[in-house]
Amino acid sequence: MDSLPKIFNLADLTTEPTQEGFTREVRVIPGDQPDDIFKTLKLDPQKVTIYLYAKPSAHRFRQDRFITDDNGLYLALNVADGHEFYSQSKANMLIPAGTVTVTNVSFRAPSYYEDKCTTSLEISCSGINHPLRFSCDPRLLESNFGMTLEADGNVRFGENIFPGGVIQDLLDDEKFHPISLGKIRQLQVKYFSNNENVRNFFIHVLRTVDGIKWTQDPGGIKKAYERLAPFYEELCASEEVFLMAAYHTVLAEANRTINGVKVSKYFNSYFDDAKTYDEFKAKLQAIFESFSKDNPEDRRFRYYKFDELFAKLPGYGELRKTAIQSQSGRALNKMMADVEFLNFDEERFPLLAELVRDGSIPVSAFFRKEGEEAFFLFNNNWPLFEEFLQKHRQAGIELASMASKRTTYEKSFMSYMYFVLYALPEYLKKHTGKDWTCLPKIVKSASELEPDRSSNGGTIKKRSALTPIVDNEKCTVVVPYACLQIAGRSTTYTYSLNYSLIERGLSIDGDVSMIDVEEKLNGRDDYGLMFYTLTGSAQGRGYPSFLVIFERLAGDETRVHFHRVHPLRSKDGDNNPVNDWIRTCYNWMVGNVNADLIVAQQGDLAFVKIDKLPEGEQTMVDSYDSHCFQHGVDFIPYSKKAPSNVLGYFDIALDTVLKHSEHMAITVPAGIYELRQCRSWEANPKGIWTLRID
């Protein structure tokens, strides 16, 4: 390489790896010019590949856009020695910023198989006529070389100006006439990120291409269109191409109806009060600003849809509301006329009737029709629905709206409403003597299923969004309702259905419960059981079950906790009698031990009586995980390899008081104990087919 020209100084070449950050490459194309870099360096294009490297930009869809920093462009020579993909040696060099100028440029419109325009660019370094030819996205020209497009079609790189003919390929291929917002998006995504370049491109089109002005039949907007014609001519004369695009876009869709709203009606209504040219411009500016809020960097042209833009336009909301009210009113009246046994008194249930008629609650939330005659009603407990809306209006609207969209899975949410308003508050009052309020919460995001982890006073809590949350100070319980679509290998759908509590008289599978709670399972506290069913995809079904713990404190005080456990509804195909569910779930929680052996429990720690200590090294401790003993006790940690909820073993010589910041102090009698941590069953639905839910 002794014959390197001045710009390619031999001292600048190195065999070090490519500089950090320069990770994207554009291949340099061999040329026929005498000063072609391959000829200058006496390199065989069959054996040597030359790349220009630049730093990539963050971009969601495109991985081949480049941005250089103040350092410049990075040149890499990869010597393949005749083997296309095997690099034997490399020589690298940085082309300093400020030394690169563009000497030639041409644009090539995308072919059928491509989705973007490409350019061929020649650059020289330090004034030396030594071109590097490569193809790149035209955005590279804007960001790295300061390319600007002028209204006369010329392309400028600093002092170098190239005639408008270089963009002729784009003009011929894209047929950017008549101009529209869709064509602007196409140019923004495929060609230019600088809006001024986009504007000047269309001004050039306006000046040189016939047919950019609107020539189609205006149809149902003819009267308004003719009234606005003088304003539009003035708009064209002022070369307001973006506003022209906004006007053409609405004109082109005038014969459509979108979401019950006629575009022609919108056009006539929206421009009705545009009495002057300035008012006309202001209307179009508002439309263009609605379009511009959608960042063109975020998606390709093919994702642009007028339907999405239409819903964002000023004035659309009122027309949509009117359409919904009309549709909902007709649907409700038709349903009441068609279904003979439907008894819906609008005077008795005014809030429900109002929300149905204004479209807030879709009529389809209440029925499914099969064939021509058969109607199957859902959620038609009108008194219950009305009361729920009075107390939890927004939650009721959301429940109905989500249920209305289901066509495969159950729609009913009456069980949830009754559980929140009556079943759970009455159950808690019966066993605590206090008035309780239950609050609805709709779990819609899979991220909410992740257990919350917080350290407070030494206790680690793990709870997913499917578990009720208690506030014992305010006597409230937040009750979750699952409505999930979880993406994965296959989408998993999960919806709550039936909510239940184990109470005297509850009958399941031929067995009946004779109790509401199991008393003093751990020697002090009472336990109940709540569960609800999950319906939906096979992977998303189950029976989330929760021990309702009534922690009996001093002075007849009771605190309530919900602890998720394994449902244990059956084993080896045999049903577990409902009368045993509470005790069975409790035993699972503490590790399948005889409840009679549990001498004491504080929070999630249970002391299980055993005959003797196992072998192991004993240490004297006065606390365990923020649970503090009144006296020091002997402790042997659990050391077996097999996983277990056994934490260790205690030898307590004297009765001792155990204290914790979150629980009432308890007395642990003298004895030998196995310390167990209560297990929690957090099996949440996910978008994979191998997961066992419950």
Cα 684 from Cα 451, distance rounded (Å): 10
What is the structure's pLDDT at 375? 54
Q: H helices of 7-151, where? A: 37-40, 138-145
* Alpha-carbon distances of 277 from 232, 281, 282, 283, rounded to whole Å: 8, 6, 9, 10
Residues 355 and 223 placed together within one structural domain of the fold: no
Digit-coded pLDDT (tens) for 362-397: 877 887 655 554 455 788 888 999 999 999 999 999
What is the structure's pLDDT at 530? 95
In this predicted structure, the answer to whether residue 115 has a pLDDT above a threshold of 60 is no
Residues 528 and 607 placed together within one structural domain of the fold: no
Q: How do beta strands 437-443 and 476-486 pair?
A: parallel
What is the structure's pLDDT at 53? 64
Digit-coded pLDDT (tens) for 21-42: 555 556 677 767 666 667 666 6
What is the structure's pLDDT at 251? 87
Residues 53 and 32 placed together within one structural domain of the fold: yes
Decide if 41 is inside a domain: yes
Digit-coded pLDDT (tens) for 213-249: 555 666 678 888 889 989 988 988 888 989 988 898 8
Specify the number of domains making up the chain.
5
Which is more confidently placed, 506 or 147? 506
In this predicted structure, the answer to whether residue 582 has a pLDDT above a threshold of 80 is yes
Residues 232 and 334 placed together within one structural domain of the fold: no
Decide if 175 is inside a domain: no
Cα 353 from Cα 345, distance rounded (Å): 9
Cα 512 from Cα 506, distance rounded (Å): 5
What is the structure's pLDDT at 470? 92
What is the structure's pLDDT at 548? 95
Ranked by mean pLDDT, the top range of 14-23, 55-64, 258-267, 557-566 is: 557-566
Q: H helices of 146-276, where? A: 168-174, 181-190, 195-208, 222-237, 241-252, 263-270
Digit-coded pLDDT (tens) for 520-556: 887 778 999 999 998 887 777 788 899 999 988 877 8
Residues 324 and 281 placed together within one structural domain of the fold: no
* DSSP state string for 424-476: HHHHHHHHHSS--EEEEEEE--GGGGSPEEEEETTEEEEE-TTS-EEETTTTE
Cα 694 from Cα 685, distance rounded (Å): 9
Cβ–Cβ < 8 Å for 678, 604: yes
Decide if 668 is inside a domain: yes
What is the structure's pLDDT at 646? 83
Least confident of 35-39, 111-115, 167-171, 194-198: 111-115
In this predicted structure, the answer to whether residue 427 has a pLDDT above a threshold of 90 is yes
What is the structure's pLDDT at 180? 81
Decide if 173 is inside a domain: no
In this predicted structure, the answer to whether residue 455 has a pLDDT above a threshold of 50 is no
What single-letter DSSP state applies at residue 99? S
Digit-coded pLDDT (tens) for 293-312: 765 444 444 446 788 788 88
In this predicted structure, the answer to whether residue 356 has a pLDDT above a threshold of 60 is yes
* Domain carrying residue 478: 414-591
Decide if 2 is inside a domain: no
Cα 365 from Cα 371, distance rounded (Å): 18
What is the structure's pLDDT at 171? 66
pLDDT mean over 432-445: 92
* Alpha-carbon distances of 568 from 48, 108, 509, 510, rounded to whole Å: 69, 68, 14, 17
Phi, psi of 166 (to 5 degrees): -70, -20
What is the structure's pLDDT at 69? 42
What is the structure's pLDDT at 91? 59
Cα 647 from Cα 240, distance rounded (Å): 76
* Alpha-carbon distances of 390 from 104, 292, 516, rounded to whole Å: 72, 41, 30
pLDDT mean over 128-154: 72
Which is more confidently placed, 8 or 159? 159
Q: Can you read off the two tokens belonging to residue 144?
A: 């790295």
Single pTM value for the model: 0.53
Cβ–Cβ < 8 Å for 528, 534: no
Angle of helix 195-208 relative to helix 181-190, nearest 10 degrees?
A: 120
Residues 492 and 452 placed together within one structural domain of the fold: yes
- Looking at every residue in the chain, the average pLDDT score rounds to 75
What is the structure's pLDDT at 302? 42
Residues 310 and 372 placed together within one structural domain of the fold: no
Q: Can you read off the two tokens belonging to residue 486?
A: 């979880």
Cβ–Cβ < 8 Å for 189, 227: no
Residues 325 and 310 placed together within one structural domain of the fold: no
Residues 24 and 117 placed together within one structural domain of the fold: yes
Q: Can you read off the two tokens belonging to residue 372?
A: 């021509």
Decide if 183 is inside a domain: no
In this predicted structure, the answer to whether residue 197 has a pLDDT above a threshold of 60 is yes
What is the structure's pLDDT at 638? 83
Cα 423 from Cα 502, distance rounded (Å): 11
In this predicted structure, the answer to whether residue 325 has a pLDDT above a threshold of 80 is no
Considering Cα of 246, then 248, then 251, then 256, what sign does the dihedral take? negative
Decide if 453 is inside a domain: yes
Q: Of 314, 334, 349, at which residue does a domain stop? A: 314
pLDDT mean over 163-171: 71
In this predicted structure, the answer to whether residue 604 has a pLDDT above a threshold of 90 is no
Amino acid at residue number 261 = V
Cα 501 from Cα 518, distance rounded (Å): 13
In this predicted structure, the answer to whether residue 52 has a pLDDT above a threshold of 80 is no
What is the structure's pLDDT at 570? 74
Decide if 519 is inside a domain: yes
Cβ–Cβ < 8 Å for 290, 309: yes
Residues 293 and 343 placed together within one structural domain of the fold: no
Question: Among 209, 210, 201, 202, which residue's Cα sits nearest to residue 244?
Answer: 202
In this predicted structure, the answer to whether residue 186 has a pLDDT above a threshold of 80 is no
In this predicted structure, the answer to whether residue 688 has a pLDDT above a threshold of 60 is no
What is the structure's pLDDT at 83? 44
What is the structure's pLDDT at 391? 95
Residues 79 and 208 placed together within one structural domain of the fold: no
Phi, psi of 653 (to 5 degrees): -75, -35
Q: Can you read off the two tokens belonging to residue 111?
A: 């072919």
Cα 491 from Cα 686, distance rounded (Å): 9
Residues 307 and 381 placed together within one structural domain of the fold: no
Least confident of 1-10, 41-50, 94-103, 272-281: 1-10
Q: Of 591, 609, 630, at which residue does a domain stop? A: 591
Phi, psi of 368 (to 5 degrees): -130, 135
What is the structure's pLDDT at 692? 33
How many CB atoms within 10 Å of residue 314?
A: 12
* DSSP state string for 399-416: HHHHHHT-SSS----HHH
What single-letter DSSP state applies at residue 8? S
Least confident of 90-104, 272-286, 467-481: 90-104
Q: Of 280, 314, 348, at which residue does a domain stop? A: 314
